[in-house]
Amino acid sequence: HPDGMDLWGKRVPFEKMTERIATFIDGDINFCNLETVITDRNDLPTTEKEYNFRTHPNAVKLLLKVGFNLMSIANNHVADYGAGGIEETRKWLKKLGRKGRLHFAGAGENIDTAATPAIFEVKGVRIAFAAVSIGVQATSKRAGVVSTHKPDAALEALKKAKADIRILSMHGGKERQLVPVGYQKSLARRAVKDFGVDIVIGHHP
């Protein structure tokens, strides 16, 4: 912590977590990768992995208050509590995002839901947003995300969307590496060249 306060292992108010970035969240569209399950439940079974993330809906309320309004839920932690965790996350984001305050995409009960873009307007500009990720790959019968290695379901849905601007969120790459790896660059270039994507947002490393 910059001013020497050791907060490790202590209860920290949600507001404390965003106080140093809040003034920077001032755009018409403010994006974040929501890398966690959103739930108020304690009975969801975890999946077998080293870390399982879950967050109370009150944290998302704070993110909305700070100004975040576009979220990817395509990442390698959205399935930490299985299909039930993905369902909870979508349920809460829909509830908290009523009245157009929040738009999200990237994970769902099957591949079609995971690939479906969020479509919304900002100052008369129609935007389509989709997200792909490493992690549990959705199928016609399994909840998860659209894989960065098999992204076509999301790319095709973006291409078909009636929008002025198309945005693709891409969660992948190699951790602790500061440059994109090969498949990230290939995916980004293909998205722009073949599917009319205007903006590719990369994150994870």
pLDDT tens for 53-99 read 999 999 999 999 999 999 999 999 999 999 999 999 999 999 999 98
Phi, psi of 58 (to 5 degrees): -60, -30
Confidence of residue 1 (pLDDT cuts 50, 70, 90): very low
What end-to-end distance do the CA atoms of the chain give, in Å? 21
Q: How far apart are CA 67 and CA 61, in angstroms?
A: 10
Residue 5 has pLDDT above 60, yes or no: no
In one-letter notation, the amino acid at residue 172 is G
Task: Give me the pLDDT at residue 56, please.
Answer: 95
Q: How far apart are CA 205 and CA 202, in angstroms?
A: 9
Confidence of residue 6 (pLDDT cuts 50, 70, 90): low
Cβ 130 vs Cβ 90: under 8 Å: no
pLDDT in tens, 116-163: 999 999 999 999 999 999 999 999 999 999 999 999 999 999 999 999
pLDDT in tens, 29-43: 999 999 999 999 999
Task: Give me the pLDDT at residue 46, please.
Answer: 92
* Share above pLDDT 70 across residues of the chain, in percent, rounded to a whole number: 97
Q: How far apart are CA 145 and CA 131, in angstroms?
A: 8
pLDDT in tens, 165-190: 999 999 999 999 989 999 999 999 99
